[in-house]
Every structure is written in C-alpha cells, then in structure tokens.
C-alpha cells in the first residue's frame, strides 16, 4: 500500500510529497476503497504522446493517462502526467501550476477508482469530485 513518485524526462517540483500522499490516501478512503500500489510518473509532452500512441492508438497531447491495475477493490495503477501540459494548462487557465498539478493528480486517481469522463455528464460528475477533494483535503498540499 503505497504511492510512489517517478520521473522520466521531467521533474515535478514544488509540492510536498508526503502531504500529497496523505491527501491521495484520504481520497481513496473517502471513496470507500483501499489503496494498493500507485505510481505517479512525471514526464514531458513528447514522452506521454508516445505512450498515448503506443498503448491507446491516439496521436495527440494529453495531460494524464491512467493505467488501471485495480484488483479485488484495491486501487492500483500507473498515472502518467505530462508536466509540460500541466504548466501550459495552468498558464492558459490563469491558475497556479501547483493547483493544476493537484487537479490532474486527483483526476488520474479518480480514473483508477472507477470514474470516467467520456461524456459531458460523466465529465461534470468527475469535475465535481475533483473540486470536492481539492476543497476538502487539498489545501494542506503545498
């Protein structure tokens, strides 16, 4: 039962890794699930677009891809995050980089928990869950 942070060709800096682990464990607990092994893998746009092509056959940039290895209700998986995309999204939205990083981190985790965002209704539900967790337990993550 652990959360790991790995870096491919980009580093994600500026967040408290221990506080973030505690927050993400709390999200899992509040969703009524149990944590397994979860890896956050930080990388570049180029790295993630290659993963997107190789595994999902999609040729476009994205901010996050979740690979779900959950079994028997134990949440496990790899969450790959493009630091480049997070920085660009934050700039475009006019919000701090760390706020966008936390949103993308919880978004990827919600995918592992079972949420989907492939319709407008599901996207709205997932966004509401993100807002809930960012508001409830994300404040101590700096």
**DSSP state letters, 36-84:** EEEEEEEE-HHHHHHHHHHHH---S--SEEEEE--BTTEEEEEEEEEHH
The Cα–Cα gap between 43 and 8 comes to: 5
Full-model pTM: 0.90
Give, for all 142 residues of the chain, the pLDDT tens digit: 699 999 999 988 889 999 999 999 999 999 999 999 999 999 999 999 888 887 666 665 688 999 999 999 899 999 999 999 999 999 999 999 999 999 999 999 999 999 999 999 999 999 999 999 999 754 554 4
Q: CB neighbours of 44 closer than 8 A, spacing ≥ 6?
A: 8, 9, 10, 82, 83, 84
Domains and CATH numbers, the chain: 2-136 (3.40.390.30)
β-pairing verdict for 34-43 and 74-82: parallel
Other Cβ atoms closer than 10 A to 94: 6
Specify the 3-state DSSP secondary structure of 7: strand
The Cα–Cα gap between 108 and 78 comes to: 9
């Amino acid at each position: 039962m652990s959360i790991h942070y790995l870096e491919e060709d980009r580093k994600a800096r500026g967040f408290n890794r221990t506080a973030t682990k505690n927050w993400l464990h709390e999200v899992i607990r509040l969703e009524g699930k149990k944590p397994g092994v979860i890896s956050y893998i930080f990388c570049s746009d180029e790295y993630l677009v290659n993963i997107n092509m190789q595994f999902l056959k999609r040729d476009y940039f994205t901010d996050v891809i979740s690979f779900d290895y959950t079994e028997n209700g134990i949440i496990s998986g790899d969450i790959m995050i493009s630091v480049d995309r997070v920085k660009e999204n934050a700039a475009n939205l006019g919000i701090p980089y760390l706020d966008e990083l936390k949103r993308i981190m919880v978004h990827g985790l919600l995918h592992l928990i079972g949420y989907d965002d492939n319709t407008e209704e599901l996207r709205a539900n997932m966004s509401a869950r993100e807002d809930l967790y960012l508001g409830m337990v994300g404040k101590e993550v700096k």
